[in-house]
């Protein structure tokens, strides 16, 4: 089963991306993504 998560910028806390992950993964997703509000590539963490 897959779960929808929102990726949040760690610098400005802007909610930029939506993706799906496996529900039984157990870890929070962390990716380096481009934040349009900051204008640079920052760490984005998963939230619900």
- Report domain extents, the chain: 2-47
4 CA to centre of own chain: 11
Query: DSSP per residue over the chain, as a string?
Result: -EEEEEEEETTT--EEEEEEEETT--S--EEEEEETTTTEEEEEEEE-
Task: Find out whether 47 and 6 touch, Cβ atoms under 8 Å.
Answer: yes
- Which pLDDT tens digit goes with each residue over 1-48? 888 999 999 999 999 999 998 888 778 889 999 999 999 999 999 987
Q: What is the pTM of this model?
A: 0.83
The CATH fold of domain 2-47 = Rubrerythrin, domain 2 (2.20.28)
């Amino acid at each position: 089963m897959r779960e929808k998560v929102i990726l949040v910028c760690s610098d400005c806390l802007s909610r930029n991306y939506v993706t799906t992950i496996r529900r039984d993964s157990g870890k929070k997703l962390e990716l380096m993504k481009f934040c349009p509000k900051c204008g640079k590539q920052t760490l984005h963490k998963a939230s619900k």
